[in-house]
Amino acid sequence: MHIVEGYLPMEWCMIWYIISIIVVVIGIIQLKRLINENPGAKKILAANGIVMFVVSALGFPSLEGCNSSPAASALNGLLFGPAITSVVVTIVLLLQAFILGYGGITTLGANVFAMGIVGPLVAAIVYYLFNKIGLPNIISLIFAVIFANVFAIATTALQYVLAYGESFMMFFVILMMPESFLIVIDVIVSLIVFLVLKSKFGDSEIFSQNLNDFFKIR
């Protein structure tokens, strides 16, 4: 859900930038540690970044000043954690802003916060909780992707409300209308990648260790 250039007041652009930068810096630190401990992770990370760029390029006009797209960041959040995902999403959003005209530079912080922080974090929490209560991994994944998209949309709606003081439900419903179909695309793509990874690494080892590490109290 890309908020395009010029549609947020500068003070809110700065606030979202500050919050996002803090998480991205943490993500960079985690990414360096991940690559040092497991150099092979670079290939999976790069491949998933390409998938994210391609899938999130399937944008359709939504609310004025906003492009709707399935960010495909939920799966990345399950594979590498929300902080590392924020780094990948930042790179993807920069490429999209310059190449495709999606989003913008002043609104980059807001977009990273919604799609690269809130979405992946919600996906990780939902998958972890659903997996803990014994639901099959594939069902946990479906719900994780759905909830991640819905919360990312809700965050974008909240960003508009905080900037302009209008009705949250009005923004949320308008943003959800085109996004509902695109959430289905995101679920399908995530399931395909999940099944490919499952065939290589086994059903229970794809996300579990990463999320157990993420939810440890450090």
Q: Which residues contact 53 (CB under 8 A, 6 or more apart)?
A: 92, 95, 96
pLDDT of 203: 53
pLDDT of 216: 46
pLDDT tens readout for residues 156-200: 999 989 988 878 988 888 888 777 777 888 888 888 888 877 776
Which residue in the block uniquely carries the two structure tokens 């399935």?
70
3-state secondary structure of 41: helix
Give the distance between the most distant pair of CA atoms in the chain.
49
* Lowest-confidence region among 30-34, 60-64, 107-111, 180-184: 60-64
pLDDT of 206: 56
Burial of 8 (0-12, 13-18, 19+ CB in 10 A): buried
Give CA–CA dist 14/150, Å, rounded.
Answer: 24
Q: Which domains does the chain have, with CATH numbers?
A: 2-214 (1.10.1760.20)
Higher pLDDT pick, 66 / 2:
2
Calculate mean pLDDT across residues 133-161.
Answer: 91
Other residues' Cβ atoms within 10 Å of the Cβ of residue 181: 11
Calculate mean pLDDT across residues 22-32.
Answer: 92
pLDDT tens readout for residues 65-121: 555 555 678 888 888 888 989 998 898 888 877 877 667 788 899 999 998 899 999
pLDDT of 27: 92
Report the percentage of the chain scoring pLDDT > 90.
27
pLDDT over 80 (residue 153)? yes
pLDDT of 96: 79
- The helix, strand and coil proportions of the chain, stated in percent and rounded to the nearest 5, come to 75, 5, 20
3-state secondary structure of 181: helix
Pair of tokens at residue 51:
């998938």
pLDDT tens readout for residues 127-138: 989 988 888 888
